[in-house]
């Protein structure tokens, strides 16, 4: 690739950053902690801040690329508009799930080339569940990443399970599916979501099964085949989706804007995503 570092090298940089961050996250998670509100009223904890510092320091130390992070400084669009390669980071995605102590939160680190996430890792520390992907390797799932994090073996990819593409979901009113599994957010179910599911059932399925989980695990479940489709209505940010988008792309699936059907893009002037579908 034209960025100077191979995707393999970038993957291990991202994994090392996550490996150093997650013990700090868990040290906060497993003790008493305070919850504060950011300007947009979303919650933030000491775990968000510690994870951000560790990840940003690691990425900066081992690579020359710019970083956009939810908890980092706001880089003006004038400074980043011509970035051809950069990191996109959510140091703790699913703070609401963190606060609820249900374990369904993740570390998200993506590497973007042009406007496309070509590499991503999504790691859930409490579940000890890692998804990772790169354009030249496909998408993988690894349970028990914490046991390998200290040594970070060179054959990490070989120890993971490659996600294999399943038959695509084809929505055809003439031939309804017996069952479609829709995954939704643990904390962000909306009327738009309910309306979409109802329409999906009326037009394309004999039965709709709904499952919910927090954070960036939802697109990864679609990539893995645990769910057929993930509709997300309402605003999300680029750092919420980039890493899992890479996992979705790695199995040939798509994350597209709900209205236009165009694949989500990154490093927009305003870093807000439109409503989207993963399928």
**What are the residue ranges spanned by the domains of the chain?**
7-162, 180-278
pLDDT at residue 2, as a whole number: 46
Residues 45-77: tens digit of each pLDDT: 999 999 999 999 999 999 999 999 999 888 999
**Which 3 state secondary structure label does DSSP give 236?**
strand
pLDDT at residue 106, as a whole number: 98
pLDDT at residue 3, as a whole number: 52
pLDDT at residue 93, as a whole number: 97
User: Element (H or E) spanning 47, and its range?
Assistant: helix 46-62
pTM: 0.96
- Matching CATH topology for 7-162 and 180-278? no
pLDDT at residue 194, as a whole number: 94
CATH topology of domain 7-162: Fructose-1,6-Bisphosphatase; Chain A, domain 1 (3.30.540)
Cα–Cα separations (whole angstroms), residue 69 to 51, 193, 242: 11, 28, 11
Cα–Cα separations (whole angstroms), residue 216 to 97, 178, 278: 11, 27, 12
Q: Which CATH architecture has domain 180-278?
A: 3-Layer(aba) Sandwich (3.40)
Cα–Cα separations (whole angstroms), residue 68 to 158, 191, 201, 271: 30, 31, 39, 10
pLDDT at residue 215, as a whole number: 94
Instruction: Return per-residue pLDDT of the chain as tens, 279 residues.
Output: 545 799 999 999 999 999 999 999 999 999 999 999 988 878 999 999 999 999 999 999 999 999 999 998 889 999 999 999 999 999 999 999 999 999 999 999 999 999 999 999 999 999 999 999 999 999 999 999 999 998 899 899 999 999 998 888 899 999 999 999 999 988 767 899 999 999 999 999 999 999 999 999 999 999 999 999 999 998 999 999 999 999 999 999 999 999 999 999 999 999 999 999 999
Q: Write out the two tokens for 1.
A: 């690739």
Q: Give dist(CA 198, CA 231) in Å, integer.
A: 12
Query: Residue 80's CB: how many other CB atoms inside 10 A?
Result: 15
């Amino acid at each position: 690739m034209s960025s100077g570092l191979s995707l393999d090298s970038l993957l291990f940089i991202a994994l090392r950053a996550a490996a150093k961050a997650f013990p700090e996250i868990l040290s906060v998670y497993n003790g008493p902690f305070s919850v504060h509100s950011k300007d947009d009223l979303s919650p933030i904890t000491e775990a968000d801040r510690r994870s951000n510092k560790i990840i940003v320091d690691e990425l900066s130390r081992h690579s020359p690329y710019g970083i956009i992070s939810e908890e980092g400084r706001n880089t003006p669009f004038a400074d980043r508009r011509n970035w051809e390669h950069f990191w996109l980071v959510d140091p703790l995605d699913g703070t609401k799930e963190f606060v609820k102590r249900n374990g369904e939160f993740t570390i998200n680190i993506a590497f973007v080339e042009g406007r496309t996430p070509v590499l991503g890792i999504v790691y859930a520390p409490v579940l000890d569940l890692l998804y990772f992907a790169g354009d030249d390797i496909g998408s993988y799932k690894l349970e028990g990443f914490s046991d390998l994090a200290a040594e970070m073996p060179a054959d990490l990819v070989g120890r993971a399970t490659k996600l294999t593409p399943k038959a695509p979901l084809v929505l055809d009113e003439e031939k309804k599916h017996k069952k479609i599994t829709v995954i939704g957010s643990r904390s962000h179910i909306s009327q738009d979501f309910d309306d979409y599911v109802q329409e999906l059932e009326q037009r394309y399925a004999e039965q709709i099964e709904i499952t919910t989980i927090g954070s960036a695990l939802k697109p990864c479940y679609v990539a893995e085949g645990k769910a057929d489709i993930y509709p997300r209505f309402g605003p999300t940010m680029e750092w919420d989706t980039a890493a899992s988008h890479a996992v979705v792309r790695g199995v040939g699936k798509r994350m597209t804007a709900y209205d236009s059907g165009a694949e989500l893009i990154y490093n927009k002037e305003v870093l807000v995503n439109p409503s989207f579908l993963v399928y």
